[in-house]
């Protein structure tokens, strides 16, 4: 089944929405910045501010993905059928998240970031193979990076909102932080063990190290738990993965007696 032109255009439009919303947020046009939004509930768990620089890489890779998939003949239909609509949902959701955060719609941000994460996690929950290395690099990797960051960001966002809304008592803050980190690490390990996409857990490790940096002075138990989680994920990475060397993409090539991987760059 060939991927339709409307789907490709919708994916491109979704990427423009996500990156455009980030540009508007940077100018202050959307109200609160993400940092200002998080500050009202940052008393439970924090990540060092440098961690959010990963969004630059993610947005750039999403634009590359969107441009790559929209040109007929560049990307094969196999990964686009699997990732097209979920990626569009996720990118629109993260753009809408910036609007909701700017307006301080706290519970709406929880719903949006959870939707974005779930949209991608569900399609990364099984091996991604039988595609070219180029498709893996330009389709799967950008979306896996986004999914990984959203996996840990969703937990931090939920705890931030619960704290800001008064559900987290100061004496129980560390337990809430540990619970949120545990959930993020557990989801990462389960999804990675099934899908084996190398790019997915890397942003989670990045975020956990940032939590360690931010919390090692005030809440060392949270900081060291974050490092333990990063180490557990790192150990999982030692097993073979699909990474950027997927299986051959063209079963028909073997029927014609040619190297099935010869079309990969």
Q: How far is CA 17 from CA 22, 52, 57, 247, in A?
A: 9, 19, 16, 33
Cβ atoms < 10 Å from Cβ of 60: 12
Q: What six digits make up the tokens of 6?
A: 């409307």
Quick one: pLDDT at residue 72?
A: 86
Task: Specify whether the CB–CB gap between 232 and 214 falls below 8 A.
Answer: no
Quick one: pLDDT at residue 28?
A: 85
Mean pLDDT of the chain: 89
Quick one: pLDDT at residue 26?
A: 86
Q: 98-135: per-residue pLDDT in tens? A: 999 999 999 999 999 999 999 999 999 998 888 899 99
Quick one: pLDDT at residue 36?
A: 84
Quick one: pLDDT at residue 233?
A: 97
Rounded distance, CA 109 to CA 147, Å?
A: 16
Quick one: pLDDT at residue 37?
A: 87
Q: In degrees, to the nearest 5, what angle opens at C-alpha 183 toward C-alphas 181 and 187?
A: 120
Quick one: pLDDT at residue 212?
A: 97
Q: Where are the domains of the chain?
A: 5-246
Q: Which residues are within 8 A (CB) of 169 and not within 5 positions of it... i.e. 6 or more apart?
A: none
Encode the chain (265 residues) as per-residue pLDDT tens digits.
788 999 999 999 999 999 999 999 888 899 988 888 888 888 889 999 999 999 999 999 999 999 999 998 899 999 999 999 999 999 999 999 999 999 999 999 999 999 999 999 999 999 888 889 999 999 999 999 999 999 999 999 999 999 999 999 988 999 999 999 999 999 999 999 999 999 999 999 999 999 999 999 989 999 999 999 999 999 999 876 554 444 444 444 333 333 333 333 3
Report which of 174, 150, 164 is spatially closest to residue 107, judged by C-alpha positions. 164
Q: How far is CA 114 from CA 83, 153, 158, in A?
A: 17, 9, 9
pTM: 0.88
Rounded distance, CA 143 to CA 254, Å?
A: 29
Quick one: pLDDT at residue 240?
A: 62
Q: Which residues are within 8 A (CB) of 145 and not within 5 positions of it... i.e. 6 or more apart?
A: 54, 57, 58, 61, 199, 200, 202, 203
């Amino acid at each position: 089944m060939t991927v339709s032109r409307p789907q490709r255009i919708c994916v491109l439009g979704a990427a423009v929405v996500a990156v455009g919303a980030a540009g508007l947020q940077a100018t202050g046009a959307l109200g609160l910045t993400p940092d200002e939004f998080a500050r009202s509930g940052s008393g439970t768990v924090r990540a060092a501010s440098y961690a959010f620089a990963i969004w630059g890489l993610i947005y750039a890779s999403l634009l590359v993905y969107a441009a790559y998939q929209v040109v007929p003949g560049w990307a094969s239909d196999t990964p686009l059928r699997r990732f097209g609509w979920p990626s569009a949902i996720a990118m629109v959701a993260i753009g809408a998240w910036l609007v909701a955060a700017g307006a301080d719609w706290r519970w709406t941000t929880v719903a949006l970031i959870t939707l974005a994460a779930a949209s991608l996690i569900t399609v990364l929950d099984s091996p991604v193979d039988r595609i070219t290395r180029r498709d893996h690099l330009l389709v799967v990797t950008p979306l896996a990076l986004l999914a990984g960051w959203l996996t840990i960001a969703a937990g931090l966002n939920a705890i931030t909102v619960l704290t800001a809304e008064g559900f987290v008592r100061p004496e129980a803050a560390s337990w809430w932080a540990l619970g949120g980190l545990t959930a993020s690490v557990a989801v990462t390990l389960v999804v990675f063990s099934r899908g084996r996409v190398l790019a997915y857990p890397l942003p989670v490790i990045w975020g956990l190290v940032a939590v360690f940096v931010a919390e090692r002075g005030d809440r060392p138990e949270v900081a060291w738990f974050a490092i333990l989680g990063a180490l557990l994920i790192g150990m999982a990475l030692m097993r073979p993965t699909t990474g950027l060397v997927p299986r051959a993409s063209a079963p028909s090539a073997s029927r014609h007696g040619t190297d099935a991987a010869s079309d990969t760059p």
